[in-house]
Amino acid sequence: MEREQGLKLLDDPQEWAAFSLPEKTQAGCWSSSVVFEGMHCAACAITLEDALRAVPGVGAVQINAASHRGRIVWSPELTRPSEWMRSVERFGYKAIPANDAHAHERRRQEGRRMVWRLAVAALCMMQVMMYATPVYVTEPGDITPEMVHLLRWASWVLSLPVVFFSCTPFLRSAWRDLRHRQVSMDLPVALGMVVTFVVSSIGTFEPTGPFGAEVYFDSLTMFVFFLLTGRWLELRMRDRTAGALEAVLNRLPDSVRKRMPDGLWALISIRRLAVGDVIEVLPGEALAGDGLVLAGQTQVDEALLTGESSPLSRQVGDRVIAGSHNLSGTIEVKIEQVGAATRYAQIVSLMESASLSKPSMALLVDRWAKPFLLAILLVSLASAIYWWPTDPAHALMVAVAVLIVTCPCALSLATPAAMLASAGALARGGVLVRRLEALQNLATIDTVIFDKTGTLTRDAFEVANIHTRVGTSQAQALQWAATLARHSLHPVSRALWSEARQRALAEGSLSSLESETAQAVSEKAGQGVSGVLTVSGRAVPLRLGSAAYCQAPIYEGAHLQVSLADDAGWIATFELAEEVRPEAPAVAKALKQLGLQLKVLSGDAQSAVAQVASCVGIDDARGACSPQDKLQAVQAWQALGHRVAMVGDGLNDGPVLAGADVSFALGQAVPLAQSKADFVLMGGQLHALVQTLVRSRQTLRIVKQNLVWAALYNAACIPLALLGWLPAWAAGLGMALSSLLVVLNALRLSKDVASSTPAA
């Protein structure tokens, strides 16, 4: 009843924003993030996807077996969350909103139940082994048949708690599969448990019958213990590898203290928070939205959002971001962005997208998961038929060994476990991974192409000189340019706006500058910004951008130049001094040592590009490139067989970032929701590029190790099981150890990037 009421609450449109976002590609649809309970393998993910797609109104479905997370696109005109959530409950699973406040507690309870099942299996296994030992170590005739029979009965009694308590997860999952004519990796395991228990029970009840020669309670309890140990450790490892994602997704508070019109503070739900509200944030609390500090000073922790590990000082006039933690002082914050508009929400969207994506290697394994499981059942049946004339009891135990040892758990975990571990470690280091496939692709690149402005240079410029046409003052030209520039996020635009604000502040005319606005503003990637300003009562169309865009002269010198023009032609040229990032030369050297070719493509003048490239240590540099020129250059290198990574600021490099084999967007000014990059370097430091590249190679190496191990394990153990040389307990141990080895090997990648990667 409580579950049903909870589902009904989720049908309220006001609740959707808590776990869903409007779907951009399908008008009127919502995209919901959920966590699934009860799934264990790739076959479970396929079953869930099929069940959800069968619901009218549900469109795209993505489920990752390793992270247990899913994304469901649905139409509110045709369905409601409660309907598609119930559709998976019919198959024995449970869908929970990804931000559910009780999700962590439920995972803790699941882990506690697993420990209890493991403890019961361990205790009973030890007792059963104690009763089985005399039969193994004594000679025939040393123990009377009555004593042997008594020991069998004692073992049977001790096996009952194992079968009816410890085996519950496997048996429940298998029964669910049989009822719905599905198959998962629990089905062969559960069949093995049931067959072993039934055969051994018959041998206990009828010691003179065809199955009375030997019982296998010791094997049963041992492989149940081994399987539960492996599953419990996998559960722990999965929670650890997904730790960075969980830490980011659950950073927002449930409620905030808002200043009411009477000046008093009132506790309200975060869902009622709106732009313009003033909230009070105490030490130890998380920020609920992006905003401006109105009172107080403190230090904030933005490590999981920007990769900046040191606390950052914030005081009156500084901006703070949602999801960061207030460390030391009480502050009052005026909210400027809430919900999906915050940078935090964009980060969450990127991380959820990465946790749901499936690399090509994992897709291949998923595609073959169900056919492989069906093949296991057929091979097991064939082995039982082959051995039956010789010894029915032995035939059934051979079938059990085949069922258990061939279960492809390790194979299905090999790729996603490693990828998720790496993505989590990179996220803690300030590198967001949009697609797990990109980690695989990055390991194979041989060429890195850099944009210049805001990438090899700092995104803060200083206006070094202003050239104007006759009759136009420098102050007037700067004011017009700044009015256009304030509508752009490009580093050059921000520099012009900052310079104009500083001069206006010194002259006391800041309010006049900020009151001016431009109409019909549009920005052309790689060219500039255009708009209409009102000057002396008349509308004046202006263009701000490259010399070619403004049909402006080019002045001698190495400074970056940006021009302003109207319908009559050139008005002004601004020379901007830029500073090469101090870490850029070391990064270029480190990339060369890794065997990579380095190039620079920029839309700036060739002289400025060549100077920066020379300072960094890159020989191949090309200037005056439009976005189309950059894309064509990348495609030309790809046609020659090169694997290309593109590093840009993410603002005007959309086509080339999308066209490269792997792409990086650098800097905190990147509009994350529109970025085409595979990786976003949140901290704005180029060092993270080298660390990510090294981590990708480590990831691919460990994925290959996992796949090779899983393949060798199955190739070696299947013949042994078919020949009857592999007892059931050894099959259970092998299966558990193979899965555990894969997860432990992947866990090596969950170490923080900075601590495991040499500095550039």
Is residue 612 domain-resident?
A: yes
pLDDT given at position 359: 58
* Three-state secondary structure readout of 226-255: HHHHHHHHHHHHHHHHCHHHHHHHCCCCCE
Say which residue, 674 or 347, is predicted with more confidence.
Answer: 347
Phi then psi for residue 462, to 5 deg, are: -125, 135
Q: Look up the CATH number of the domain holding residue 297.
A: 2.70.150.10
Average pLDDT over residues 649-658: 69
Cα distances from 649 to residues 451, 460, 542, 666, 672, in angstroms, run 7, 13, 25, 5, 11
Asked if pLDDT for residue 274 goes beyond 80, the answer is yes
Is residue 187 domain-resident?
A: no
Mean pLDDT of the chain: 81
Grouping H, G, I as helix, E, B as strand and the rest as coil, residue 324 is coil
First to last CA, the chain: 58
Is residue 117 domain-resident?
A: no
Q: Are 236 and 176 in contact (CB under 8 A)?
A: no
Asked if pLDDT for residue 340 goes beyond 90, the answer is no
Is residue 723 domain-resident?
A: no
CA distance 650 to 631: 14
Do 557 and 652 reside in the same domain of the chain? no
pLDDT given at position 227: 77
Q: Kind of pairing, strands 431-433 and 298-301?
A: unpaired
Cα distances from 145 to residues 92, 131, 207, 329, in angstroms, run 45, 14, 10, 78
Q: Are 447 and 644 in contact (CB under 8 A)?
A: yes
CA distance 657 to 661: 8
146-160, 298-312, 345-359, 740-754: which range is least confident on average?
A: 345-359
Grouping H, G, I as helix, E, B as strand and the rest as coil, residue 600 is strand
Minimal CA–CA distance to 532: which of 543, 522, 540? 540
Is residue 301 domain-resident?
A: yes
Minimal CA–CA distance to 618: which of 643, 640, 601? 601
pLDDT digits (tens, 9 = 90+) for 214-237: 788 888 888 788 778 767 766 665
Do 590 and 681 reside in the same domain of the chain? yes
Q: Which domain holds residue 40?
A: 2-100
Residue entry with tokens 């700044």: 482
Say which residue, 157 or 306, is predicted with more confidence.
Answer: 157
DSSP-assigned letters across all residues of 111-164? HHHHHHHHHHHHHHHHHHHHHHHHHHHSPTTSS-HHHHHHHHHHHHHHHHHIII
Do 8 and 75 reside in the same domain of the chain? yes
Q: Amino acid identity, residue 5?
A: Q
pLDDT digits (tens, 9 = 90+) for 194-205: 888 988 898 888
243-247, 296-300, 566-570: which range is least confident on average?
A: 243-247
pLDDT given at position 582: 87
CA distance 570 to 550: 7
**Polymer length of the chain:** 760
pLDDT given at position 760: 39
Do 482 and 570 reside in the same domain of the chain? yes
Q: Look up the CATH number of the domain holding residue 628.
A: 3.40.50.1000
Which neighbouring-strand residues pair with 589?
none
pLDDT digits (tens, 9 = 90+) for 695-728: 999 988 988 888 888 778 878 888 888 888 877 6
Average pLDDT over residues 154-172: 91
Alpha-carbon torsion angle 98, 101, 107, 113, nearest 10: -140
Q: Amino acid identity, residue 460?
A: A
Q: Are 30 and 21 in contact (CB under 8 A)?
A: yes
DSSP-assigned letters across all residues of 350-381? HHHHHHH---HHHHHHHHHHHHHHHHHHHHHH
The catalytic site residues sit at: 451
Do 651 and 509 reside in the same domain of the chain? no
CA distance 624 to 548: 9
Q: Amino acid identity, residue 564?
A: L
Helix residue spans in 325-473 (DSSP H): 343-356, 360-387, 392-405, 409-428, 436-442
Q: Look up the CATH number of the domain holding residue 68.
A: 3.30.70.100
pLDDT given at position 563: 92
Minimal CA–CA distance to 349: which of 76, 29, 664, 33? 33
Average pLDDT over residues 106-117: 80
Asked if pLDDT for residue 541 goes beyond 80, the answer is yes
pLDDT given at position 696: 92
Question: Computed over its alpha carbons, how large is the radius of gyration of the chain?
Answer: 32
Do 511 and 653 reside in the same domain of the chain? no
Do 624 and 647 reside in the same domain of the chain? yes
pLDDT digits (tens, 9 = 90+) for 585-624: 999 999 999 999 999 998 777 887 888 899 899 999 998 8
Q: Look up the CATH number of the domain holding residue 552.
A: 3.40.1110.10
pLDDT given at position 426: 84
Asked if pLDDT for residue 176 goes beyond 60, the answer is yes
Percent of the chain predicted with pLDDT > 70: 84
Q: Which of 100, 126, 151 is the last residue of a domain?
A: 100
Do 512 and 595 reside in the same domain of the chain? no
pLDDT given at position 673: 44
Grouping H, G, I as helix, E, B as strand and the rest as coil, residue 63 is strand
pLDDT given at position 368: 66
Domain count, the chain: 4
Do 549 and 625 reside in the same domain of the chain? no
Asked if pLDDT for residue 672 goes beyond 60, the answer is no
Do 604 and 499 reside in the same domain of the chain? no
pLDDT given at position 757: 45
Grouping H, G, I as helix, E, B as strand and the rest as coil, residue 258 is strand
Is residue 80 domain-resident?
A: yes
Return the top range by mean pLDDT from 370-379, 471-480, 512-521: 471-480
CA distance 139 to 282: 75
Average pLDDT over residues 256-271: 86
Return the top range by mean pLDDT from 30-44, 396-410, 628-642: 628-642
Say which residue, 39 or 444, is predicted with more confidence.
Answer: 444
Q: Kind of pairing, strands 597-601 and 569-577?
A: unpaired
pLDDT digits (tens, 9 = 90+) for 434-467: 777 888 889 999 999 998 877 888 767 788 889 9
Minimal CA–CA distance to 432: which of 593, 90, 665? 665
pLDDT given at position 756: 45
166-170, 272-276, 372-376: which range is least confident on average?
A: 372-376
Q: Look at the alpha carbons of 73, 76, 81, 84 in this order and tell me if their dihedral is positive or negative.
A: negative
CA distance 435 to 384: 45
Alpha-carbon torsion angle 652, 654, 660, 663, nearest 10: 80
Residue entry with tokens 């590029």: 689
Q: Kind of pairing, strands 290-295 and 319-320?
A: antiparallel
Q: Are 398 and 183 in contact (CB under 8 A)?
A: no
Q: Which of 74, 100, 126 is the last residue of a domain?
A: 100
Is residue 128 domain-resident?
A: no
Q: Kind of pairing, strands 462-468 and 569-577?
A: antiparallel
pLDDT given at position 640: 92
Predicted structure pTM score: 0.63
Q: Which of 656, 689, 722 is the last residue of a domain?
A: 689
DSSP-assigned letters across all residues of 509-550? -HHHHHH---EEEEEETTTEEEEEEEETTEEEEEEEE-HHHH
Q: How confident is the model at residue 652 (pLDDT cuts 50, 70, 90)?
A: low
Which neighbouring-strand residues pair with 299?
313
Is residue 135 domain-resident?
A: no
Do 90 and 9 reside in the same domain of the chain? yes
CA distance 454 to 663: 15
Return the top range by mean pLDDT from 44-48, 298-302, 309-313: 298-302
589: number of Cβ within 10 Å: 15
Do 471 and 444 reside in the same domain of the chain? no
Residue entry with tokens 């101090």: 582
